[in-house]
Structure 1
Amino acid sequence: MVTRRQLIAAATGVGSVGLLGYLLSRDDGATDTPTPDERRRPATPTQTETATEEGEAFVDRADVVDVREFGAVGDGETDDSGAITEAIRAAESGQTVFLPATSDSYLLSFDGTGGEAAIHLGRESDLSGITVLGERAEAGAQTLQVEPGSYDADTSNWALKLEATRVFRGLRFRNLTIDGARPPGDGAASLDGEESLTGVLLRRGDAGGGHDIAFENCLVRNCSASALRFEESGVTCRNVTARRAGRHGFNPVAGDTAVDPGFVGESIRSVHNDGTGIDHRRGTARLENVYTENNRSGNKWKHHVRRLEVRNHHSVGDRNRGWRSNHTGTDDVPDTQHIVLRNVLVEQPKISGIRVSGDNTEIACDFENIEVRQTEVQDSRAGIVFSRAAHTGTETRGRIVVVGTDNGGGVYVGSDAVMNVGTFDHFRNEEGPFIAESGELNFDKIENVDPGRNIFGTPGAASVGAFTGPLN
């Protein structure tokens, strides 16, 4: 196998050139259950990009930069990272960097010197107005495949790293799969597992946020650290899946306020990750049409967050909580957090369904149309916990449904929290419909009934995430 180091030593032309290709593997999303190895199938030729009006082939257009022109051909064995990097750096605003389909993967190899990025962008050129486009919008097509064992596992490394030395406007990544080659049997990061490779990183820099960066129809999988981490505002993930990361699936950490919301997730799926599915740590975020499953630490927001909006989220078997506040410090804490949870279904969580609990800050919560089913309630009081300076609006509106709570009640309201809800349906909760201790629960209607599963129409695994629908 020709490594990146060998190519650099031998190169006399453009950077470290390699071959170009892609690896097709199944991620069809019909059911999201753990799969130790993802099946592979041969490529079949298609054309998602057609000729121009003049009949000119897409790759021959003046505004298209073909990675093959930089030496990429593709065999899954020769390092392609240098060729892809040089092609993107050479592109100008308004141009498309095109990754055509071949029969194998785009190999991303590292030197093993530590602290490396296979594709490192942002320092040498302005990326504004550039689209990086894989030919086919399907799972596994145009895979950027990390070479196993080529990076230093004792340091942080990245498959794709964007340095925010300037503001990027109109930067798009579309129809790509990034595979971090996470070692088989690897444990959770920071526990007993490797934590050295992040899939995608937007590194905080001099730009100060305010970007317009989009990842569309992208799958990021098998990274030993987080799949996607964004440290400045202005990133949108649309039809994106994070799978089997050693740490978090989606990790927005934008502390700046140049764009509000700082992170937008539309039609995203985060499954089988050994940290959280979604870990919102700073700034603001808006999430809509979300599916999460079997994430070791559920989904959470931190005390730094100013605003989080979650609409149409379906959580299945997240091992902790479907959503929880995680207030563990006092630095950069807003006086009030604004949290919107609307049309949310949490099924079979390990600890409880949802926990909204302020600490060193007030939580103003729009809490409407929430359904929690079959929770074991470990180290918690109920399927839904509302406490410590948390409150909803003054009107009783919306609906909550709690069914099948073991070892706890349906709803717990404590520590002077106030929850107002229009209709409260409860059924077979071991310690009754609710427990109110120094808190206040108000409702217009309460019924001992199971109204049926998913009455708010939250999305299933096959309906959101990478390659599940058209882009606007």
Structure 2
Amino acid sequence: MTVLNVRDFGAVGDGSTDDTAAIQDALDAANNGDEVYVPATGSSYLVTGHNAVVDVNPSHDGVRLYGDGEGSRIEYGGGNGGRNVFMVSVDPGDDGIDGFVLENLTLDGGLGSVEGDPNVAAGIQVRSPHAGDEGSVDISIRDVRATNCYGNGIDVRSAGTTVTNCTADNNRQHGFGMHTSGDPFQDPPVRFERCLAHGNGFGGGYYGMDLSAGKGVAEDCVLHDNEGAGATKCSDGADRMVYRRCRLANNEGVSFQNTSGQGATVVFDQIVAEGNAYTMRLTEDGTYRVPAGSELVFADNGPDVRGALYLTDDSVLEAGDATLWISGQTGGAGLRASSDGAGSRVGTYYHANNEDGAISNDQNISFGTIASDLKTDLDGVPTADQVGAWSDAEIDTGSDDGSTGEGTTDDSPFDAWTPRWDASASDWGVVAGDEYEGGHALRYDHDGTDAARRAISWDAAGTPSDVEVLDRVRVPSFETDGDRGYHARVHLRSSYAGGEETGYWIELEDAEDAFRLAKYSVDGMETLARFGAPAEGVFFYRRFRAEGERLRVKVWKATESEPDTWDADVTDADHENGWVGLGSFDPGAFQTDVLGVATDGGTVQLEADDESGTDEPAPDEPEPVADLEVVSLEARNLTADAATLAGDLRDLGGADEVRVRFELRTAATDAWTAVGGETLGSPSEFTHIVSGLDAAAAYEFRAVADGTDATVAGEIVSFATLDDADENAAPTIEQFEVTDRSTNKWNRFDVNWKVADGDGDLDAVVSTLERNGRTVAADSTTVSGDGASYTHLLRVRGKVDTVRLCVNDTSNATATREYEI
């Protein structure tokens, strides 16, 4: 990795020197993994021109363009001659952009320097990809302030873009804009996370955030004091937009509206709309969903005769398991339903102090409960000081609901849980009993007969990558009729993407080898491993760990001690992160009374009781996943007096370099002898040949990594040297042919192989795809005798730099060939 300082390429940063060429030259000199640094200045780096002023393109895979924060200011100085201005243009083109990062910068759009009335004059525009791109986009924009732009502050037109902790303020058009409906792909959707928009839209009919068309998510965002048309909207071409934990406050126009977006689905999950001039307007034939257990709060909006929430055209509001709070509406009633679309429903509607009462029209809408009560805010929905560029305030997700009066008691266990997929909050409840740890358990029991993918996420665990779960679970009775009987799932790295459920899970059923490790992906469901013998009415502990691309599971009866070995140990690279939770495919009951989760070196823990928690620790609480990680591999190339020890450094724990070595001892002895040693700057395998060993003797070794603050060791591995009279010959690889059938979407390789062994004790052949020394896909075949041949078919979505073939015999003598891509 090389840091390229724009000043070394001639940038001055005095606010008057044209630094366009210097910044571009620094970018063009960067290779994958390099960083382009824009140091803070007392003035600004002036850029001029039109269209792609600072051009980021497919050649900038893995490049980071960054500064020191607010003081690293790039300012537009004119020269467009009435033409469009993309101050920073990020263009995926036909090849896509993978891993580009833009962060810690201020972009001043130079509103007064823009000539004419260009259609587009954005601080940042992520351009639409070409048809050949096929989804190869991974762009991150973080801690950036986009201000004083003639057009939009940050404008995104490509799926695969994430905008996090950014501020868009005082821009003439939208603060944040998004439009991907014309693109060749829509997933993963554009995401705006912890973003702040204020003072935007003063040029006319513009918004703080415009999720115009395609698929988008706004999560933990605050849109306040925007002028023009209001807080946010979607429009023609909108497919699915999600607003989650967002605050829409004191905007001049509407809280939200859909302008001609027919067929759109819009999700509102934990929203506060307060002090806005006009209504939240649900229009067209859109479907507007409020998830089960969620709440919407409208407070002190208006004056608007249409009310705080207005259904019109053919819209449908699906909030049958949710709660609406509307209070302080001026100029109208709290809610007005004038839609011709049938089937709108609200589970609970609380109202207070609305000028024209609770409801001015109830056309095609029904309610579960209507009552008078007041709530003006929601915990967990951030305020302006908690989001935006360089914000570091924690968002309070406490359970105090801030309500007053009657009708506000919530004794469900879902303050920290979110129903996922086909689930609803009614599928879960808390049950009591002496057989449960702590006296209570969380019980799943769907009220129906249809099998479906139902789950809940435990939000306290977040969406981790490396994570371990320990739970204690029981299925009272198995159901085996038809396509049923798949009970009691615990989920890791789960999500919902592209219309498909994704993630890893383990479950149990009444069958042989019926603990199952499996995954959902865009290609469907796949079983990764089966093991063990579950039994109905019996509590089991399950430890489920995901580290990098490695998944491990062990299960044991709660009355027995935890085993030392894992029941399943597999590699899979489909899912990198996601929520942790519980679920089931079968509608039958299961009970979980202990759930412990370790993420990023810390632990959170649930024991169900009638108030959703207890302070008592769970038995055998999972160890946090270590940052520094090393694994001992099997010994190789065994002879009568020598062996090759092997280890794998999986994680450097944040260090630039780590010293690795081995410790060796004769079996059944206590003292270790240090052997070998080297320094590694990235995760990779390492080996050391030890000689002078005794023939036909038993030894043990372990791999060791010495970090900055700690030393960690892998598991102890045993091996035995050969007898002098029985020297083992290593296998040979007689054929190794790799056929590359990759596409823009998948890297695919056919590995044709033929192996032989003079001793006639072949054991296994493994083909792997690797990236930077890490395995990203693998296939293996068990072999025997003195020869074998086959073809392994490997594929992976990510990049690959090496195809490797390895064969071993029953004495673990090996041969390896590799093909560099």
Normalised by the size of structure 2, how large is the TM-score? 0.44
Rounded Cα–Cα distance in structure 2 between residues aligned with 1:173 and 1:143: 13
Partner of 1:155: 83
**1:169 and 1:211 in contact (8 A); partners too:** yes
Partner of 1:267: 194
How far has the Cα of 1:121 moved from its partner? 2.7
- RMSD, matched Cα: 2.6
Partner of 1:410: 334
What pairs up with 1:48-63 in 2 under 5 angstroms?
62-63=1-2
1:28-60 residue CA offsets vs partner (Å, 9 max, x unmatched): xxxxxxxxxxxxxxxxxxxxxxxxxxxxxxxxx
Partner of 1:431: 356
Alignment CA distance shift 1:194-1:258 (3 Å):
closer
Q: Which secondary structure state, in structure 1, belongs to the residue aligned with residue 27 of structure 2? A: helix
Q: Which secondary structure state, in structure 1, belongs to the residue aligned with residue 25 of structure 2? A: helix
How far has the Cα of 1:470 moved from its partner? 8.9
1:230-288 residue CA offsets vs partner (Å, 9 max, x unmatched): 22211100001111111111111112363424210110011111121111121101111
Alignment CA distance shift 1:416-1:277 (3 Å):
same
Q: Which secondary structure state, in structure 1, belongs to the residue aligned with residue 281 of structure 2? A: strand
Does residue 61 of structure 2 align to residue 118 of structure 1?
Answer: no
Q: Which secondary structure state, in structure 1, belongs to the residue aligned with residue 367 of structure 2? A: strand
The one-letter code sitting in structure 2 at the alignment partner of 1:342 is D
1:162-181 residue CA offsets vs partner (Å, 9 max, x unmatched): 22313001000010110012
Q: Which secondary structure state, in structure 2, belongs to the residue aligned with residue 126 of structure 1? A: helix
Does residue 208 of structure 2 align to residue 277 of structure 1?
Answer: yes
Write 1 or 2 for the structure with the bigger share of strand: 2
Partner of 2:812: none
Does residue 113 of structure 2 align to residue 179 of structure 1?
Answer: no
**1:198 and 1:225 in contact (8 A); partners too:** yes
Does residue 251 of structure 2 align to residue 251 of structure 1?
Answer: no
Rounded Cα–Cα distance in structure 1 between residues aligned with 2:317 and 2:5: 53
Higher relative contact order (CA closer than 8 Å, sequence separation 6+): 1
Match of 2:25 among 86, 100, 107: 86
What pairs up with 1:32-431 in 2 under 5 angstroms?
62-110=1-49, 115-122=50-57, 126-134=59-67, 136-137=68-69, 140-147=70-77, 149-152=78-81, 154-165=82-93, 166-183=95-112, 197-206=121-130, 207=133, 209-255=135-181, 256=183, 258-274=185-201, 275-295=206-226, 296-298=228-230, 299-327=232-260, 333=262, 336-352=263-279, 354-358=280-284, 361-366=285-290, 368-378=294-304, 380-393=305-318, 396-417=320-341, 418-431=343-356
How far has the Cα of 1:63 moved from its partner? 2.0
Alignment CA distance shift 1:90-1:150 (3 Å):
same
The one-letter code sitting in structure 1 at the alignment partner of 2:122 is T
Normalised by the size of structure 1, how large is the TM-score? 0.75
**2:316 and 2:339 in contact (8 A); partners too:** no
Rounded Cα–Cα distance in structure 2 between residues aligned with 1:205 and 1:266: 22
Rounded Cα–Cα distance in structure 1 between residues aligned with 2:179 and 2:242: 15
**1:357 and 1:363 in contact (8 A); partners too:** no
Rounded Cα–Cα distance in structure 2 between residues aligned with 1:196 and 1:439: 42
**1:195 and 1:224 in contact (8 A); partners too:** no
Alignment CA distance shift 1:259-1:197 (3 Å):
closer
Rounded Cα–Cα distance in structure 1 between residues aligned with 2:363 and 2:161: 41
Partner of 2:666: none
Partner of 2:652: none
**2:75 and 2:110 in contact (8 A); partners too:** yes
Rounded Cα–Cα distance in structure 2 between residues aligned with 1:240 and 1:159: 16
How far has the Cα of 1:397 moved from its partner? 1.9
Which stretches in structure 2 are left out of the alignment for 5+ residues?
395-463, 465-821
1:168-217 residue CA offsets vs partner (Å, 9 max, x unmatched): 01000010110012239x9xx99xx8866311112224235541001001
**2:17 and 2:46 in contact (8 A); partners too:** yes
Partner of 2:713: none
Q: Which secondary structure state, in structure 1, belongs to the residue aligned with residue 86 of structure 2? A: strand
**2:41 and 2:73 in contact (8 A); partners too:** no
Give aligned-pair identity as a percent: 23
- The answer to which of 224-233 and 195-204 deviates more is 195-204
How far has the Cα of 1:338 moved from its partner? 2.0
**2:266 and 2:286 in contact (8 A); partners too:** no
The one-letter code sitting in structure 1 at the alignment partner of 2:187 is D
Alignment CA distance shift 1:175-1:372 (3 Å):
same
Rounded Cα–Cα distance in structure 2 between residues aligned with 1:362 and 1:218: 33
Alignment CA distance shift 1:449-1:438 (3 Å):
closer
The one-letter code sitting in structure 2 at the alignment partner of 1:468 is S
Alignment CA distance shift 1:438-1:317 (3 Å):
same
Partner of 2:816: none
Alignment CA distance shift 1:362-1:276 (3 Å):
closer
Q: Which secondary structure state, in structure 1, belongs to the residue aligned with residue 11 of structure 2? A: coil
Rounded Cα–Cα distance in structure 1 between residues aligned with 2:91 and 2:187: 21
Partner of 1:21: none
Rounded Cα–Cα distance in structure 2 between residues aligned with 1:369 and 1:456: 11
- The answer to which of 199-208 and 216-225 deviates more is 199-208
**2:148 and 2:171 in contact (8 A); partners too:** yes
Rounded Cα–Cα distance in structure 2 between residues aligned with 1:128 and 1:194: 30
**1:303 and 1:326 in contact (8 A); partners too:** yes
Q: Which secondary structure state, in structure 1, belongs to the residue aligned with residue 122 of structure 2? A: strand
Partner of 1:58: none
Q: Which secondary structure state, in structure 2, belongs to the residue aligned with residue 74 of structure 1? A: coil
Rounded Cα–Cα distance in structure 1 between residues aligned with 2:61 and 2:200: 32
How far has the Cα of 1:319 moved from its partner? 1.6
Alignment CA distance shift 1:286-1:373 (3 Å):
same
Rounded Cα–Cα distance in structure 2 between residues aligned with 1:141 and 1:397: 48
- Return the index of the structure with the highest Cα Rg: 2
**2:270 and 2:378 in contact (8 A); partners too:** no
How far has the Cα of 1:126 moved from its partner? 1.1
1:98-154 residue CA offsets vs partner (Å, 9 max, x unmatched): 1223333111133xxxx44321232xx6111111121x24xx22100122x5442x3
Alignment CA distance shift 1:267-1:257 (3 Å):
farther
**2:159 and 2:188 in contact (8 A); partners too:** yes
